[in-house]
């Protein structure tokens, strides 16, 4: 895993946007895995900017989102289809038919899970997956205790996740109790992952994910087993890392061999 320490949220968003932009320019029909929440908002804003100012072309890009609440309609302001439309899709030249978000209103949720996995396979697999992390170390809606080999599945949300997400709803009682999510096994099949974290409230989770044991109680720790993950973490979120000095040294010296990689 390559760990990049940045100053703040703005720099984290810049670095992540650079990786995504390069992937789109290199392969115009790239398959992207996308996340929602406050962490990737800056990344999406910079992609919109690159489209409007530099002509970044999304016309052939295919996307798959990590997750969606069960039973929220696609036009619900807190639904993830709505989020993606507002922050990215409505502002670039992407074909809406090429954008995919799990259908949390499907009559048979288990069939929707199987169908979503098949759609990803039919697209050739996810080439670049964007990820954040929850305070308890979960990634997507893979709550503590989720199998590290799991595919797309239905999950109950923990009290902590409901509490964290309640700021987006009128009250905690309005937060859905279930979600449909790509599993850890699904995520690990992506060819490359970008893991982003910012803020002191994520420091314990980042420490557990990047340097702790690989365990289902911290599902993001499974990324340690991924062959090509870039972790972009700001100073506050990186504060508890034991190997912080090494990560900085590695980052400072990487350019010496970058052209030979």
pLDDT at residue 172, rounded to an integer = 83
Distance CA 167, CA 184 (A): 26
| pLDDT tens-digit map of 202-254 | 999 999 999 999 999 999 999 999 999 999 999 999 999 999 999 999 988 88
Task: Kindly state whether residue 200 falls inside one of the protein's structural domains.
Answer: yes
* Token code pair at residue 149: 């080999």
Residue 259 has pLDDT above 80, yes or no: no
Question: What gap in Å lies between CA 145 and CA 147, rounded to an integer?
Answer: 6
Residue 183 forms part of a structural domain: yes
Residue 176: CA atoms inside 13 Å, Cβ hemisphere, count?
20
Smallest CA-to-CA distance from 6 within 19, 22, 24 is with 19
pLDDT tens-digit readout, 69-102: 999 988 899 999 999 999 999 999 999 999 999 9
Residue 260 in domain: no
pLDDT of 254 reads: 81
Is position 261 within any domain?
no
Coil, strand or helix: which one is 73?
coil
- 164 carries an active-site annotation: no
Helix or strand (DSSP H, E) at 128: strand 128-131
Active site residue 57: no
Quick one: pLDDT at residue 153? 97
Mean of pLDDT over the chain:
95
Residue 79 to residue 110: CA distance in whole angstroms: 20
In the set 103, 117, 127, 136, the catalytic residue is 136
What's the rounded Cα separation, in Å, for the pair 4 and 254? 11
136 is catalytic: yes
User: What does pTM read for this prediction?
Assistant: 0.94
**Catalytically annotated residue among 51, 67, 68, 234:** 67
**Does pLDDT of 148 surpass 80?**
yes
Secondary structure tally for the chain: helices H, strands E: 8, 10
Residue 196 lies in a domain: yes
- The domain of 227 spans 2-254
Phi then psi for 227, rounded to 5 degrees?
-75, -15
Of residues 160 and 48, the one with the higher pLDDT is 48
Q: How many domains does the chain have?
A: 1
Average pLDDT on 151-176 reads: 88
CA atoms of 80 and 72, how far apart (whole Å): 9
Based on the residue annotation, tell me whether 67 is a catalytic residue of this protein.
yes
Q: Which of 87, 138, 153, 234 is catalytic?
A: 138
pLDDT in tens, 99-109: 999 999 999 99
Q: Establish if 259 belongs to a structural domain.
A: no
Segment 168-201, tens digit of pLDDT: 888 888 889 999 999 999 999 999 999 999 999 9
| 153-156 sheet: strands from edge to edge | 67-69, 178-181, 153-156
Q: What residues contact 38, with CB distance under 8 A and at least 6 apart?
A: none
pLDDT of residue 195: 98
Residue 149 confidence (pLDDT) above 80: yes
Any residues with CB less than 8 A from the CB of 165 and at least 6 apart, and which? 157, 175
CATH code at position 83: 3.40.50.1360
Tokens of 55: 């002509």
């Amino acid at each position: 895993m390559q760990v990049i320490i940045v100053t703040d949220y703005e720099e984290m968003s810049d670095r992540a946007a650079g990786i995504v932009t390069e992937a789109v320019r290199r392969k115009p029909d790239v398959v992207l895995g996308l996340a929602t929440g406050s962490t990737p908002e800056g990344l999406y804003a910079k992609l919109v900017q690159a489209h409007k100012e530099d002509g970044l072309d999304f016309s052939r890009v295919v996307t798959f989102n990590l997750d969606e609440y069960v039973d929220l309609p696609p036009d619900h302001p807190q639904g993830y289809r709505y989020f993606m439309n507002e922050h990215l899709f409505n502002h670039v030249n992407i074909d809406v038919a090429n954008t995919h978000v799990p259908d949390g209103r499907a009559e048979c949720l288990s069939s929707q899970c199987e169908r979503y996995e098949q759609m990803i396979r039919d697209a050739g697999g996810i080439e670049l997956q964007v990820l954040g992390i929850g305070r308890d170390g979960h990634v997507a809606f893979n709550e503590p205790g989720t199998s590290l080999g799991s595919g797309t599945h239905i999950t109950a949300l923990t009290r902590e996740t409901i509490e964290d997400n309640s700021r987006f709803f009128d009250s905690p009682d309005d937060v859905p109790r279930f979600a449909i999510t790509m599993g850890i096994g699904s995520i690990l099949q992506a060819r490359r992952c970008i893991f982003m974290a910012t803020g002191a409230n994520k420091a314990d989770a980042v420490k557990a994910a990047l340097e702790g044991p690989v365990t289902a109680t911290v599902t993001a720790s499974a990324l340690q087993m991924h062959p090509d993950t870039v972790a972009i973490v700001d100073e506050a979120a990186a504060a508890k890392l034991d190997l912080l000095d090494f990560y900085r040294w590695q980052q400072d010296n990487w350019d010496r061999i970058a052209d030979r990689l």
